[in-house]
Amino acid sequence: MYEFAVTPAVTQLRRPGVIITEVAPESLAEELELEPNDRIVRVNGRLVRDYLDFRFQTAGETDLTFQVKKPDGETIEIEFDRDESEDFGLMFEQIVPRQCANECLFCFCKGNPEDARPSLFVRDEDIRLSFLYGNYTTLSSITEDEMKRIIEQRLSPQYVSVHATDLKTRAYLLGVEESRADISDKLERLLAADIELHAQVVLCPEINDGAVLEKTLRDLAAHYPKVVSTAVVPVALTRYNTDERLTRVTPEFCRRTVKEVEKLQKEFRKTLGVTFAFLGDEIYIKGGLEIPSRRHYGNYPQIEDGVGMVRSFVNSFEKFLTSAKEQNSARVDLRTHAAALVPNAEFIPPAYAGGSDFGTILTGEMFAPILREQIEKYNELIGSRLHVLAVPNTYFGGDVSVAGLLTGQDFMAVRDRIVGDFVTIPKITIKSDEPIFLDGMKFEDLQQQFPVPIIPVDTEILISMLEQKKADR
């Protein structure tokens, strides 16, 4: 049995094996008479814990034996040969996240409203999700089983929430004893095995800033290039965060942090050849400072953590505008592409047909000024009438101003300010596999309350759509 968590984390006991959810027609799996709901328990005698195990244990193997447990409880063995590159044609159940064993001072789950979508209260701490999706783990409760798995299966890179290399500070932030907070031996072991690491610091004023932050960044940079990068992102407190030990991030704090970290960045570029330590976009925006250049971010190693997203978007949009000027690009019809952008596209009203360049683009308060500046340039060039409207986050409140955490209730609050024939909302606000917002409101319910059609869209896709329209002309 694979050990997923330790006390006080929630431990979900699972039967060994991984369940098949789909079998592709005319595939090897169908030939082997595998079916949905069959559970592959072992491959060549080795226990299978999830689909990562299955992929690892079958990779490069041509002579295989599957132990399969049928839904009725019957266990069978299937022996077969296959070509090394032949696909099985199987889809498996998703990984059930291993639960966090910490009591982090700043945990976002503590800032959720009571009626938030249940999944928002799941605190994952899973090295598999770190490898697959870049989810951060603290490694504070990682088991020996998990350590061996990272190394054996080369689950690299791993994303680690370090927060502070000062042990007392780290233990305080994680809400655990110092012995658990100390992951120095684990880091050394992973680095010795050539596992690449990306680090994160959630910056909490008066706790892990200043001299503590400098020590943390220097300690991590000493392990470059195996520690590839470090992201420093500000703590985001909702109106439900009432812990008096936490201090809100202010514009003055952001400006001071940028000034302090810039000195280290210059030093790292001189000694390491890379910036190494990157500040989250929100720190620059909240401090009223200019976002660094494209060169500053290198290959954007921490973009999924909100580091460099703004620079990437602005550069891409400006590149498009330059091309549009040269080629006299035509207007964009957002709705033409709606089916490809919207989860469960049937919720787009069928009556919404034809073209229009008159509409409203909704986004979070943090990104709105940046997006508005680019859209105004586009309007001037093309002659369209696209309006950017900043949506306050009243659901979470507090410091939350990013687009991804807007809810149905937040969009409802600005519906009277909508102009034009349509409105777009950030696609990221909708659950990827279900048309529902963080507050539990369904997309179709929101649409019924709006006087014009709503189109979920990504800003990156907006640029692609504009480019495609230009190419069509």
Whether the bond into 157 is cis, omega within 30 of 0? yes
> How far is 370 from 405, CA to CA, in rounded Å?
18
Q: Is the pLDDT of residue 66 over 80?
A: yes
Lowest-pLDDT range of 21-25, 211-215, 309-313: 309-313
Q: Which two tokens stand for residue 240?
A: 């439900």
Q: Cβ distance 30 to 24 under 8 Å?
A: yes
Q: Cβ distance 205 to 217 under 8 Å?
A: no
Q: Is the pLDDT of residue 304 over 80?
A: yes
Q: To 10 degrees, what angle do helices 309-327 and 368-382 make?
A: 0
Comparison of pLDDT for 461 and 261, the residue scoring more: 261
Other beta carbons within 10 angstroms of residue 325's beta carbon come to 11
Comparison of pLDDT for 111 and 337, the residue scoring more: 111
Q: Cβ distance 456 to 343 under 8 Å?
A: yes
Lowest-pLDDT range of 216-225, 424-433, 453-462: 453-462
pLDDT value of residue 471: 42
> How far is 55 from 189, CA to CA, in rounded Å?
24
The single residue listed with the structure tokens 């008066």 is: 206
Confidence category of residue 174, pLDDT binned at 50, 70, 90: very high
Q: Is the pLDDT of residue 413 over 80?
A: yes
Q: Using H for helix, E for strand and C for coil, what is the string for the chain?
A: CCCCCCCCCCCCCCCCCEEEEEECCCCHHHHCCCCCCCEEEEECCEECCCHHHHHHHHCCCCEEEEEEECCCCCEEEEEEECCCCCCCCEEECCCCCCECCCCCCCCHHHHCCCCCCHHHHCCECCHHHHHHHCCCECCCCCCHHHHHHHHHCCCCCEEEECCCCCHHHHHHHHCCCHHHHCCHHHHHHHHHCCCCEEEEEEECCCCCCHHHHHHHHHHHHCCCCCEEEEEEEECCCCCCCCCCCCCCCCHHHHHHHHHHHHHHHHHHHHHCCCCCEEECHHHHHHCCCCCCCHHHHCCCCCHHHCCCHHHHHHHHHHHHHHHHHHHCCCCCCHHHHHHHHCCCHHHCCCCCCCCCCEEEEEEECCCHHHHHHHHHHHHHHHCCEEEEEEECCCCCCCCCCCHHHCCHHHHHCCHHHCCCCCEEEEHHHCCCCCCECCCCCEHHHHHHHCCCCEEEECHHHHHHHHHHHHHHC
pLDDT value of residue 349: 37
Highest mean pLDDT among 14-23, 376-385, 400-409: 400-409
pLDDT tens digits, one per residue of 422-456:
898 998 899 877 899 999 999 999 999 999 999 88
Q: Cβ distance 291 to 312 under 8 Å?
A: no
pLDDT value of residue 445: 95
* Interacting residues of 375 by C-beta distance below 8 A, sequence separation 6+: 361, 386, 387, 388
Q: Cβ distance 365 to 401 under 8 Å?
A: yes
* Interacting residues of 291 by C-beta distance below 8 A, sequence separation 6+: 281, 284, 285, 310, 311, 314
Q: Is the pLDDT of residue 416 over 90?
A: yes
Residues 62-87: what's their mean pLDDT? 93
Other beta carbons within 10 angstroms of residue 81's beta carbon come to 9
> How far is 71 from 295, CA to CA, in rounded Å?
55
Confidence category of residue 461, pLDDT binned at 50, 70, 90: low
**Surface-to-core class of residue 394, CB atoms within 10 Å of its CB (0-12 exposed, 13-18 middle, 19+ buried):** middle
Residues 73-79: what's their mean pLDDT? 94
Domains and CATH numbers, the chain: 18-92 (2.30.42.10), 108-305 (3.80.30), 313-472 (no CATH)
Q: To 10 degrees, what angle do helices 251-271 and 210-221 make?
A: 30
Q: Is the pLDDT of residue 327 over 70?
A: no
Q: Cβ distance 196 to 228 under 8 Å?
A: yes
pTM of the model: 0.84
